[in-house]
Amino acid sequence: MKKILAFFLALATVAFAQQPQTSSAPIYSVNAKYVQGFGPGYWPTAGSGLVLNVAAGTANCAGPIVTYAGGTLTMTASTTNYVYLDESNFCVPAVSTTVFTSSVIPIATVVAGASAITSITDDRTMFQEGGGSSSGISSVSGTNPIVVSTSNGVAAVSCPTCGTSSGGTVVSVNGGSAVSTLNATGSIPVTCSDTSGSSTAQSCTTTPSFTPTAGNCITYLTTTANTGTALTINVNSSAAGSVAKWAGSTTTLVAGDIPANKPIPMCFDAAGQWDVMTIGNAPSGGGLSPLFDTTNPTGVNTPAEVQSISAASTTATFSSNIKAGDLLLVFSRDYEGSSITVSDSLSTSFTLATAVGARVYMGTASSSGVDTITLTGAVDAPIIVAYEFSGVTETIDNAASSSTGTSITLSATTSYINDLLVSYLNQDCCNEMTLSVSSGWSTPVTAANSVYTHFASSYEIGSSAGANSITWTSTNRATAYLFSLRAASTPVSGSEGQVYYQTATTPYIPWVYHSGVWRQVQ
């Protein structure tokens, strides 16, 4: 009997050794910790201080599938934080101090102390909220959209089976404005690369494809530069469109305008041509500043007469004080034609402007005060006519020209705005002279000496650069002359480096503001 009992006891011992049992669950979820449950990712772990690490993951964001590359979130100190996937922002991980709502996907409940995370409750589940019309992507034309979201909330959208059309693949984000994944509506240009090898007829394709319509833009790349004036481009096997530079101008190309291996932005217009926004060659001729002034650059003086005098003598005194910086213009005439020089009581340095028909001197007053003009060398029947002008330089624009008769027309083509045009007339006979000048010219200042030499002068301010003329009408035969002086600039308000252009003959004349003065650039 004892042997039988011992046998059964031994048998029971062997059976229990082969079938161990337990009545308690594991102390943690092995599957959840090491393989992240059913595999959605987004595993939350404590980082340094209040930083929570969130692992990479994949989620169904109310329809579209999104992927997350992994990142971090900073918890609010001394409170409970709720970490979730934000369906209104392409399921980018977010954190709040309020409890989860029905429109988010829970990740974790994180309790934070003053400076560190104290506990993490993993709230991930294989079930998630289904989303609503206001979350994520609200509508996609086509099927099987894929939305890839980055940690900064920017989403890239692709639609492999949406097909193609001239209207593009349109995606509406968060119920807002439509965003085109194709540049059929003038948004981000797509690259179109030519490999035709032709310098006159090129073609390219885009991915995805579209049929060009007015407003479509591309970034064009070719391996072959154009060599002639004409070039066509066929985009996506549609129709060859001619290439026009300067946004639709009829100006033809020159060789190298469309360079090889350089990205060139261009847009399709209603005329069926590709308008190039930039070219490979530098523009010819003078360029224009955005501050283009067709009348008078700010700070460029308009010359003005201050006063004038005339005398049949070797001296003449201005009636009012001369102002320093003003231009003195002195006409001298001696019947015998002797060598004449000019000086004044303010020690102005005079230079000869012209000796055609009369000797014309110019000088800039170095000081202010009473001024007497003196002719030296005028020994017989002298004549003096003198002006004080403000806003004029001693720079000659046009040299003197002359003509003879009783009706005399003289012309000068100036290169600068506000030129001081000066004309004078001599008559070496007779005891009288009646004359007139063209409209717009000043009333002539006249003088006559004892041997019947009559002299007259007049001036006009050129309102623009270009052709200017004067007509003298005289009772007796006379000879007239014409020349011009350039206007000055003054230290008026302006921004350092500011540029103005004035209308002129080619090229345009630039003025640059530097050190308090507008200066012409030669």
Q: pLDDT per residue over 51-68, tens digit each? A: 999 999 888 887 778 888
pLDDT band at 282 (very low <50, low <70, confident <90, very high): low
What structural domains and CATH numbers belong to the chain? 31-169 (2.60.520), 190-276 (no CATH), 304-487 (no CATH)
Residue 340 contacts residue 375 (beta carbons within 8 Å): yes
Contact present, 123 and 106 (Cβ < 8 Å): yes
pLDDT tens per residue across span 245-276:
766 565 578 888 899 998 888 888 888 889 88
- Please tell me the predicted confidence (pLDDT) of residue 253: 83
* Coil, helix or strand at residue 500: strand
Q: What is the pLDDT of residues 422-446, one digit of tens each?
A: 999 988 777 777 889 999 999 999 9
Low-confidence winner among 2-6, 143-147, 252-256, 400-404 (lowest mean pLDDT): 143-147
Residues 6+ apart with CB under 8 A from 184: 165, 166, 167, 168, 210, 213, 216
Q: H or E stretch including 34?
A: helix 30-34
Other beta carbons less than 10 A from residue 91's beta carbon: 31
The residue-averaged pLDDT of 77-100 equals: 90
In the predicted structure, residue 204 carries a pLDDT above the cut 90: yes
